[in-house]
Every structure is written in structure tokens, then in C-alpha cells.
């Protein structure tokens, strides 16, 4: 099977000395792709900068204006985590455009798997604000483009942090299902199981928080037991993954204990939700330990491409089974309460 990779890695210039969200991350992810030796099965989508109209499916025009002006004035710190430089506006436009280009190339081929290697990452970016290292919400921009074409999009977010931006953007959008497994407690503090979507999309947000130390078996069980029945009922026509590899056990930004083999297993499972080939793409989000990032990218792509790769063994035995069960029950209760409230016009 072919791997469709974005052709643009124009991330130079978006860099702050000592910041973990750094250009070497893309290099590490690309080394992971190289490790698969795909030859002619590697296809590069054209370089593309998202247009204002494409960005505005997700972001407020005032925010885009402000971010662009801020960058061209020299940039600086947006908050304690998030920076922008003079080049960041252009870099972010290309990061958002890379997703659109990969999706378009998959549509042209009618086959293959997409991998969008971009930075800055996107899943924390809100409609009107950047945060958590993110400026524009790359995966949401691609999902919104697909929805505009009449598709039903499943987004699975296995980054160690909850994708608060993506959740908020599609909170009331019934054509997008957002599923997140993430460490809790951890930044950004959202992503409780009772957060289930807005009135127009009740149940289309699925959050399964897991505790520090959770291993791959716990996260895989979260997807299998809590999310899979809802995903099957949703019947997605496209599947996108917010592929953050900071839930790897070696990553310094959090405390989950996943291995590259766990990412492979999750990728294999999630790719099966796509109705056919050419409708599955992974978007790079977090992942700050470069070797863990490289091996996890290689392992997860190999799993969906059915390419040979020797990944770490899947991990077992960490805490969290009880929390997954609690999340399932909490979600069901929240759904029941919300449905009752919705019938009385008292839920937003």
C-alpha cells in the first residue's frame, strides 16, 4: 500500500531556543518513515499553503488577522507554552495546507495511507486562540474540508494531552466524531468522560482519561470497550488520527508508559474504522523524545501499511483499567442526563 506524505516541511524559522517543540521533531518523524524503505510506495503530496477560506472553516477571521500581524511584527510568546516567530504564520499555513494536500492526494489515488508531518502541532488550537504549542488546528482544518464535501469524519486523538481545541471546534458538529485517550490529570485539564458533545452532536465526543503509568493494554481497552461501539454506529467515511507520540514511556512531557508496539496496535485497530483504503491519515501532534518519536512513527505506519518493522513489544500491566470502566459508566450517565435535558431545551 502507498504512503502519502506531505511534500512540504517548511518549518524552519518556527523555533525558539530550548523549546521542546522544535524542528528536529519533523526530522525524527521523517527518519521513521525512511526506516520503512518504502521506495516507489512513498508518494509526496504537493506543497500547499491553506487559504484564508479553508482556515476560516475552523478559525475566526479576527484570530487569523491577529496571529498574522503578531508574527509579522516579529512574534514572541503567546502564552507560557506557545511561541510564534516572524516565520510562524507562513509555517502554520503550510502545516494546515499539508493536511489538505495529503487528503486531496489520497482522494486522487483512491488508495493508500496518509501521514502529515507538520509542526507546529494543532490539536490544542481553539477557533480564536493558539495554545499548548499550537497555532492553527491542522487536523480540524482537514476534517472541516472533508465535512464540506459531505463526509463523516472520525478523529481519534492518542496524544498524551487532551485535544481541547479539536473537541471545542466540533463540539456541536454531528458529522465529526472526536475520540480522545489522554493522561489525566495533565494539561490542558479538559477531557473528562462526561464531556460528550453539544446538543446537536450528543455522544459524538468521547473522552477516555487514563492515569499516569497507564500501559498500552489500558489505552487499547479504552478504544475497544468505550469508543468502538459508538464509532461503529457513527459509520465514518474518513478516519483521521491526531498522532501524538508523547504517550510513549520515554517521553519527558508526561507519564504514560506506551511503547512503539502499542502505537502499532492502535493504528491497526483505528485504520479498520475507515470504510476503504485511501481514507485514513495520521497527523503528527506531540512527541518530544526524538528516538521514541522515530520508532513510534515507523511502527504505527508499518502496522497500517503492512510493512515489515520490528517494533517494541506491546506494554501491559499498568494502572487504569478501573478508570476506563468508570469513564464508560460516567459517559453513559452523562448521555442519559443530557438527552433528558435536551428534550427540555436545557442543554448546550
Partner 1 sequence: MTRMLSTIAVGFDGSPDAKTAVRWAFNLAVQVGANVAVVHAVGMLGRLDQHDTVQSLETSISQLCDDAGLDGSRVQLHVANGDACSVLLRMADDPIAADLLVVGSRGQGKHPGLLLGSTSLELAEHTTVPLVIVPSL
The residues binding partner 1 (CB under 8 A) are 19-20, 66, 69-70, 73, 76-82, 129, 131-133, 161, 164, 185-190, 252-254
Nearer to partner 1, 70 or 234 (CB): 70
CB of 278 to partner 1, least distance (A): 34
Rounded Cα–Cα distance for residues 302 and 73 (Å): 43
Sign of the Cα torsion 84, 89, 90, 92 reads positive
SS3 242: strand
Nearer to partner 1, 34 or 79 (CB): 79
Nearer to partner 1, 64 or 267 (CB): 64
Nearer to partner 1, 150 or 185 (CB): 185
CB of 21 to partner 1, least distance (A): 9
Rounded Cα–Cα distance for residues 154 and 161 (Å): 18
CB of 164 to partner 1, least distance (A): 8
Residue 69, phi then psi, degrees to nearest 5: -65, -40
Give the Å distances, CA to CA, from 309 to 35, 112, 143, 296: 8, 18, 30, 11
CB of 214 to partner 1, least distance (A): 16
Per DSSP bridges, beta strands 205-210 and 113-116 are: unpaired
- 187: which 3 cell numbers? 494539561
Query: In sequence order, what E strands does 244-334 have?
Result: 280-284
Q: Which residues are catalytic?
A: 124
Amino acid at each position: 500500500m502507498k504512503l502519502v506524505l506531505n511534500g512540504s516541511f517548511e518549518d524552519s524559522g518556527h523555533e525558539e531556543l530550548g523549546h521542546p517543540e522544535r524542528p528536529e521533531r519533523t526530522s525524527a518523524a521523517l527518519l521513521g518513515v525512511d526506516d520503512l524503505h518504502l521506495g516507489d510506495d512513498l508518494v509526496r503530496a504537493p506543497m500547499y499553503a491553506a487559504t484564508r477560506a479553508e482556515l476560516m472553516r475552523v478559525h475566526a477571521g479576527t484570530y487569523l488577522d491577529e496571529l498574522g500581524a503578531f508574527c509579522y511584527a516579529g512574534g514572541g510568546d503567546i502564552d507560557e507554552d506557545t511561541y510564534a516567530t516572524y516565520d510562524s504564520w507562513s509555517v502554520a499555513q503550510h502545516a494546515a495546507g499539508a493536511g489538505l494536500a495529503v487528503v486531496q492526494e489520497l482522494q486522487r489515488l483512491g488508495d493508500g495511507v496518509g501521514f502529515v508531518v507538520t509542526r507546529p502541532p494543532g490539536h490544542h488550537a481553539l477557533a480564536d486562540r493558539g495554545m499548548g504549542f499550537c497555532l492553527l488546528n491542522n487536523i480540524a482544518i482537514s476534517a472541516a474540508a472533508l465535512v464540506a464535501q459531505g463526509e463523516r469524519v472520525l478523529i481519534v486523538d492518542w496524544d498524551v494531552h487532551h485535544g481541547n481545541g479539536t473537541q471545542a471546534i466540533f463540539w456541536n458538529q454531528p458529522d465529526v466524531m472526536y475520540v480522545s485517550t489522554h493522561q489525566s490529570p495533565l494539561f490542558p485539564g479538559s477531557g473528562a468522560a462526561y464531556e460528550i458533545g453539544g446538543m446537536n452532536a450528543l455522544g459524538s465526543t468521547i473522552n477516555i482519561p487514563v492515569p499516569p503509568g497507564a500501559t498500552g493494554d489500558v489505552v487499547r481497552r479504552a478504544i475497544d470497550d468505550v469508543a468502538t461501539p459508538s464509532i461503529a454506529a457513527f459509520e465514518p467515511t474518513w478516519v483521521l488520527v491526531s498522532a501524538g507520540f508523547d504517550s510513549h514511556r520515554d517521553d519527558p512531557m508526561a507519564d504514560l508508559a506506551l511503547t512503539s508496539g502499542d502505537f502499532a496496535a492502535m493504528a491497526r485497530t483505528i485504520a479498520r474504522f475507515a470504510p476503504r483504503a485511501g481514507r485514513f491519515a495520521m497527523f503528527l501532534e506531540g512527541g518530544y523524545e526524538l528516538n521514541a518519536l522515530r520508532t513510534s512513527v515507523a511502527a504505527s505506519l508499518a502496522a497500517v501499511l503492512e510493512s515489515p518493522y520490528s517494533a517494541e513489544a506491546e506494554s501491559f500491566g499498568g494502572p487504569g483499567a478501573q478508570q476506563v470502566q468508570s469513564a464508560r459508566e460516567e459517559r453513559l450517565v452523562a448521555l442519559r442526563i443530557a438527552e433528558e435535558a435536551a428534550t427540555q431545551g436545557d442543554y448546550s
